[in-house]
Structures are given as structure tokens and as C-alpha cells.
Amino acid sequence: MTTWARRVPAAAVAAVTMTAFFTATFPETAMGAVRSSAASQAPGTAVNLKVTDKVRHALADAFWNQYYGKPGGHRPVTSRKKVDGPKKVYYGKVRSGGKTVYWAVGSIGVRGDLVSYQDGPHVWRRSAHGAWSYRGDTGGCLEKAPKSLLKLWRLRSYC
């Protein structure tokens, strides 16, 4: 018996020993799944997500429809097919106050318009069941994105 085990009540030693045994022996059990799921879904917690082609396409659509391709702009006439990106996308969600909000940060531009590539990265936001909203370019100042996700992604904001 180890020194620490002599100082702790037997029930506590048994609980620690059994938890360690079951976690090491059966990592795929519900106990392990509940622990990781609960940790990733805790209120106010940022969770990193994998970017899919569907998400990329939706982000590009939001950029085009809400900003670049919007009628009356000072941009050259071109088509949605020339949207390049988004690339180098960070994608995640934050759950707080019973609401889940999805965020994306990445680079995007339009082929043939070099100015469209500057002042990134760009930021997008989406509520749990809503459409993506293009929040704009940042010029490196990422104040438009939640600090908890920036910390998770290890991104610095240059404000």
C-alpha cells in the first residue's frame, strides 16, 4: 500500500482505484463518454469543430451575399464562382446561457480582385439553427470573435 493510501479513507481509495481501473480497461464505456461530452458541452465552453465542405460553401455564400456581391457596392462586376475560399478556417462553437453560437475565422477573397484579400482574417457567426452571418474583415483585430475560441485556437488579436 502506498503512503498516500494510508492517509485516505478506504472508500476513497477504492473509488479512485476502481475509476482508474475502469477508465484504463474500458475507455469506450459510457463513463468515459459522459465525462468528455460533459466537459465539451459545459456552459460558456468553447469547442473546436471540424470544417466540412458544406460549412465552407455556406461561409463563402454569406461573404458573397452579405458583402462582396451585394448590389450597389464599389466592387468590380464578377460572379460568385470567383470567390476563393474561405481558407485556413478555424471553426467552433460556444455554448452559453442555453444558447449555442457557431463561429468561423478564415481568409477569403475574390480571384481577380487583389484588394479583396487584404484586411483578414474574416469572421462569420451563426446561431444554432440560423444562417451564417458575415461579420466582416478584421485587419488582424479579432475582437469580433469570442475570446474563449481565440484562446482555444491559439490565435492572437492585433488591436
Summarised one tens digit per residue, pLDDT across range 25-67 is: 333 333 333 333 333 445 578 999 999 999 999 999 999 988 8
Predicted structure pTM score: 0.70
- The CA distance from 26 to 28, in Å, is 5
Number of H helices, E strands in the chain: 5, 5
Pick the closest to residue 79 from 106, 113, 53, 104 (CA basis): 113
pLDDT at site 79: 83
81 burial (CB, 10 Å; 0-12 / 13-18 / 19+) is exposed
pLDDT bucket at 94, cuts 50 / 70 / 90: very high
